[in-house]
Amino acid sequence: MNDLSTQNLIQSIDDLLKAHSLRKTALSRMVLGFFLAHPNIAFSHAQLQDQINLMLDSAVDKVTLYRLIDRLTQVSLLLCRVDMNRVRSYQLMPATIKNTPFFHCQSCQKDSFISQVIQQEALDLSKAAANASQHLASLGYQNVSYQLTLNGVCTDCAQQELQ
């Protein structure tokens, strides 16, 4: 990475932190930067801790890291999912995910958008969720958001399991 793109990346990390009223600490920059560099991958707490330890070349304070991840999730910079074993994983919130139904593979952890697959039904789902959140907002609920996730095993992983 050349100096200019590094500078741009640092600037966009700082902009994101500022836009969400988060403190610009070395750790918050590092963690958000890590997620920005791996936009389509979900990480568990333990995996994140390992990665951050590697980058720091020392042990990160676990509680501080977990608080930061919670904070990033609260402001919707990160998307948190809980798998069938109740393990939480986190990934960068794709801009489109909030109103588009997507499929999450529990084997390879990849997300794919399914609008094309189920077309009209997907639009109906989105509309229903949008209506519900507008209705809640009109009743005075705040920061209403929604995610439409279908979980399962993708075709690639399903085929591998058969082999």
- Give residues in contact with Zn ion (CB under 5 A): 105, 107-108, 154, 157
Q: Which is nearer to Zn ion, 150 or 157 (CB)?
A: 157
Q: Which is nearer to Zn ion, 9 or 153 (CB)?
A: 153
**CA-to-CA distance for 148 and 99, rounded, in angstroms?**
7
3-state helix, strand, coil in the chain (%, to 5): 55, 15, 30
Shortest spacing between CB 112 and Zn ion, in angstroms: 9
Shortest spacing between CB 113 and Zn ion, in angstroms: 14
**CA-to-CA distance for 110 and 61, rounded, in angstroms?**
29
**CA-to-CA distance for 80 and 72, rounded, in angstroms?**
10
Shortest spacing between CB 99 and Zn ion, in angstroms: 23
Q: Which is nearer to Zn ion, 65 or 104 (CB)?
A: 104
Q: Which is nearer to Zn ion, 72 or 154 (CB)?
A: 154
Shortest spacing between CB 155 and Zn ion, in angstroms: 8
**CA-to-CA distance for 109 and 61, rounded, in angstroms?**
27
**CA-to-CA distance for 147 and 2, rounded, in angstroms?**
36
Q: Which is nearer to Zn ion, 6 or 160 (CB)?
A: 160
Shortest spacing between CB 160 and Zn ion, in angstroms: 8
**CA-to-CA distance for 41 and 123, rounded, in angstroms?**
26
